[in-house]
Structure 1
């Protein structure tokens, strides 16, 4: 991936920081620097901040139905409309590209999608949680554990937001020394400090996070302290680009990391021993393991994506069709479908029964596809662009029907709740940074109650 000097944790994009004064600043999906954190920002003072914050900055579903902007942007006080601002944004946006391959025929491949469907309804937006982004190409910084609980990266902390209580609480602070509680003979574990978390995921009560300097941190949410932390690589450009939590074919939990040193590492989730290390020809930007634990999707600084054997690391097949570097992937729960997201602004759908070409090509509105998620029942797939747009597709319609969520701000991550009932979107912005919550729409809810 693009090497990016980031000596302090910062907002990578702040295009909306002067929203009212200078609304039409040029916007690019490219490396940008904001204002670094002061030492005071490292303290754990979030609960005081929550108590002092005013709820008037939040937006409920009722307020939205009565005309309030879901992000609380006061369009009525501006000398332009929301539609005019959107039109200008679409014209000005410049998608970041690593490769200058011709995109001339790409549009012809893309599927026609009916985007007017309501699959998830807006429920709530809070500015008490503000996502922050360490690297402009990495956007997996949000993970939901239930329809009421979601974890978000905010500065040097992992914040837990309860949508039921409408309160936030710090779950992990990595600015100060982080000491592993589990150590085994020969363990790689050692104390870390001032970790800039670049990627994060949660599964089965285990939080795994990667750092900007090649760190890995693992914490069980129901236990105090950090179970394991280490620096897994000493490579100069060692950023941990992605983490995945999965189960091996025999049922053991594994933590898988993708790093800029062109390696994928597999850790045992009980001892945190490094079980395997697979090397590839280029920096690995993303990796995900199939539901049965047998296949490994490997994406990185190449237009080609690889499918490897998850046990040996041997490449099984190569996926061809993308035109730039890839940063996102997700497996459908049935294990038959893989979705890959690329800087060529498309998400490709692949059927493992025939990987010679993708079965569908889905296009965003403005920029790269940086996050992809399926619901646990496989019914819906969400894909997020770097900013402004999250797309939800109905997989039962062969991805032909969808919903477009239109917002303003950098997207730090998206996550469905395990029960599929909620969709959370993290927005990173100095003024309008927030956490958006949408609820699954049930047209036949009364029938479900009867049966």
Structure 2
């Protein structure tokens, strides 16, 4: 070891020096990692259009389907001819307005850049990308590679509990939590006496009886003591976030008429504030699953916890903190459950499943996706759903993975039976009730209607202009819904794939989950959960009206009980999050379009033959009376 000069001891590095070194390291590979790969090719295209998980090499770009304006189906509010006539001109003007060669994102590290170059390099305002939640609009001259590549890594307040190898991919420009937004953007005339939202004590649960208007909303916030109203804060937040929507998306949304907010399908019942899910990746929001009001499961990083609608203390159903894949912890990215099976997917293609029907304390089983290629950029489990096999009585699960494959697992034998490869990362899928067809969506912009047995697409539907992250198939076997990062929600009729039944846009943020209500659950609805603040409950008979339930915070997932009586929402706001329960209301109302049609997915006399229907005829007739809450 060389001797040191005692008179001139080495000085610790300056903060600017550390930041400069960090920038140099970042510039070496500016793409945020989505797996734990250490070696990446320098020639990969780093930028993408909207942020996400997947990685795409340049050879794959040419094979991705390109959405042409002539393929865009007309929304129901616009005549088809007018829409197709004006849409290309509209998009040409918008993209020409944003067409740029390059951009720089160095302005946040000006001091460190001075340390490197002795000259501050500001970012020209005209060259900066515009960002909305999950939607990064880059200059139009940059080819979109993968819309599933992560925009940024963000240090989360909970990340320390997962160790140094924790690798949560977060949205660099998500909605601010309500406490930060209130502090930074609400200007009170008596700002010197402004009462902060941080640190306010909340009860363990908030029930319908606790609501006091602005004195106590359903998140337990007292707005009256802060000399404002909830509606005022909501209007300010809506205005602020609306101005951040990229012009390209504003143009797309402007040609689709908003859906009327006139329905009343659900009402607030309870919020349990002690149960908080954890989001590992900002685009993956299926971290909540319920089989009944007594069994509500949610992911908290490397654990899956169980609670119930009354908010009892949670218990750990699967503790995955000791499970490692190639040295990395099991980090839950998606969750699914049925009466018998609970299954969780992870960041490295691992999964854990347990038998919920076992009378004993059955330990979970951990496995990894079959055919896992070491050459794949990422193996993140993006989505999974359970369905019944046409050939056996054992439940099956479909894994949608970032390595561009969809795999089928037999849950009872823990054996992979099928594997289907697609041209880009697969983000979500849903199997038709008869098990013959499957809708598959991903970073390939198309909605694929495939043969469930072979995986081969027989319909390629072009309606979205961005990566698609959510889909569902209704219990009637006819209606299919998809939702994408362009904030659009598209409804299809399986009897006619030539054009969509309806096209609508979200309330404000990106729709991350869409779920149809179950058969036997009352008037049929489609639930759309956005990344932040909003859940829309859409009339699935006409798709022309909806009910909007708004709150403050990011959405980690939604789940509806099998009888359709309760809708659970996981809110992960750091101060005012929890699990919200909405309950069905207006059970006695008949909402059929015509006297001979049914408001549910099938006629009432047919339901007793369908084993998916949980409630019997007499129980369905008595719904809404709350007989279960009577004390005798």
TM-score range, shorter chain: 0.7 to 0.9
**Given that residues 295 and 308 in structure 1 are in contact (C-alpha distance below 8 angstroms), is that contact kept between their aligned partners in structure 2?**
yes
**Given that residues 253 and 505 in structure 2 are in contact (C-alpha distance below 8 angstroms), is that contact kept between their aligned partners in structure 1?**
no
* Shift in CA distance, 3/285, structure 1 to aligned 2, threshold 3 Å: farther
Question: What is aligned with 2:489?
Answer: 347
Offset at residue 36 of structure 1 (A): 4.6
User: Which is richer in strand?
Assistant: 1
Question: What is aligned with 1:270?
Answer: 412
Q: Which runs of 5+ in 2 are unaligned?
A: 1-30, 37-51, 53-129, 135-151, 165-200, 590-618, 626-632
* Shift in CA distance, 121/448, structure 1 to aligned 2, threshold 3 Å: same
Question: What is aligned with 2:352?
Answer: 217
Secondary structure at 1:93's aligned position in 2?
helix
Secondary structure at 1:402's aligned position in 2?
strand
Offset at residue 443 of structure 1 (A): 4.4
**Given that residues 147 and 418 in structure 1 are in contact (C-alpha distance below 8 angstroms), is that contact kept between their aligned partners in structure 2?**
no
Question: What is aligned with 1:227?
Answer: 365
Stretch deviating more after TM superposition (323-332 or 203-212): 203-212
Report which structure shows greater RCO (CA 8 Å, sep ≥6).
1
Secondary structure at 2:233's aligned position in 1?
helix
Question: What is aligned with 2:387?
Answer: 246
* Shift in CA distance, 132/169, structure 1 to aligned 2, threshold 3 Å: same
* Shift in CA distance, 360/39, structure 1 to aligned 2, threshold 3 Å: closer
**Given that residues 400 and 428 in structure 2 are in contact (C-alpha distance below 8 angstroms), is that contact kept between their aligned partners in structure 1?**
yes
Pick from 19, 24, 38: which aligns with 2:160? 38
Deviations 1:171-225 (A, max 9, x none): 11111138xxxxxxxxxxx999621111111013211211112212221124411
Question: What is aligned with 2:315?
Answer: 169
**Given that residues 409 and 433 in structure 1 are in contact (C-alpha distance below 8 angstroms), is that contact kept between their aligned partners in structure 2?**
yes
Tell me, in whole angstroms, the C-alpha distance in 2 between the residues paired with 1:219 and 1:276.
21
- Would you say 1:68 and 2:213 are equivalent positions? no
Deviations 1:274-309 (A, max 9, x none): 111111111111111111111111111132111111
Deviations 1:111-155 (A, max 9, x none): x53313221110100111011101001101101111332111123
Pick from 414, 422, 428: which aligns with 2:558? 414
Stretch deviating more after TM superposition (385-394 or 439-448): 439-448
**Given that residues 295 and 308 in structure 2 are in contact (C-alpha distance below 8 angstroms), is that contact kept between their aligned partners in structure 1?**
yes
Question: What is aligned with 2:568?
Answer: 424
Q: In the TM superposition, what are the counterparts of 1:319-330 in structure 2 within 5 Å?
A: 319-330=461-472
**Given that residues 127 and 435 in structure 1 are in contact (C-alpha distance below 8 angstroms), is that contact kept between their aligned partners in structure 2?**
yes
Tell me, in whole angstroms, the C-alpha distance in 1 between the residues paired with 2:162 and 2:481.
41
Q: In the TM superposition, what are the counterparts of 1:13-412 in structure 2 within 5 Å?
A: 28-30=132-134, 31=152, 33=154, 34-39=156-161, 56-64=203-211, 68-78=216-226, 80-93=228-241, 104-110=251-257, 112-164=258-310, 166-177=312-323, 194-223=329-358, 224-232=362-370, 233=372, 234=374, 235-252=376-393, 253-377=395-519, 379-396=524-541, 398-412=542-556
Tell me, in whole angstroms, the C-alpha distance in 2 between the residues paired with 1:89 and 1:311.
47
Stretch deviating more after TM superposition (209-218 or 256-265): 209-218
User: Which is richer in helix?
Assistant: 2
**Given that residues 192 and 229 in structure 1 are in contact (C-alpha distance below 8 angstroms), is that contact kept between their aligned partners in structure 2?**
no
Offset at residue 340 of structure 1 (A): 0.3
Tell me, in whole angstroms, the C-alpha distance in 2 between the residues paired with 1:447 and 1:254.
29
Tell me, in whole angstroms, the C-alpha distance in 2 between the residues paired with 1:448 and 1:203.
25
**Given that residues 220 and 227 in structure 1 are in contact (C-alpha distance below 8 angstroms), is that contact kept between their aligned partners in structure 2?**
no
Tell me, in whole angstroms, the C-alpha distance in 2 between the residues paired with 1:427 and 1:214.
26
Deviations 1:293-352 (A, max 9, x none): 111111111321111111101111111111111100111101111100111112100011
| TM-score, normalised with respect to structure 1 | 0.82
Higher Cα Rg, which structure:
2
Stretch deviating more after TM superposition (128-137 or 101-110): 101-110
| TM-score, normalised with respect to structure 2 | 0.60
**Given that residues 59 and 71 in structure 1 are in contact (C-alpha distance below 8 angstroms), is that contact kept between their aligned partners in structure 2?**
yes
Deviations 1:369-400 (A, max 9, x none): 1101111127121001100000001223x122
Tell me, in whole angstroms, the C-alpha distance in 2 between the residues paired with 1:135 and 1:447.
39
Tell me, in whole angstroms, the C-alpha distance in 2 between the residues paired with 1:95 and 1:270.
50
Q: Which runs of 5+ in 1 are unaligned?
A: 13-25, 43-53, 179-189
Offset at residue 436 of structure 1 (A): 0.2
Offset at residue 100 of structure 1 (A): 9.2
* Shift in CA distance, 345/78, structure 1 to aligned 2, threshold 3 Å: same
Stretch deviating more after TM superposition (165-174 or 262-271): 165-174
Tell me, in whole angstroms, the C-alpha distance in 1 between the residues paired with 2:530 and 2:440.
20
Deviations 1:411-434 (A, max 9, x none): 001111001000000001211120
Tell me, in whole angstroms, the C-alpha distance in 1 between the residues paired with 2:241 and 2:228.
18
**Given that residues 414 and 425 in structure 1 are in contact (C-alpha distance below 8 angstroms), is that contact kept between their aligned partners in structure 2?**
yes
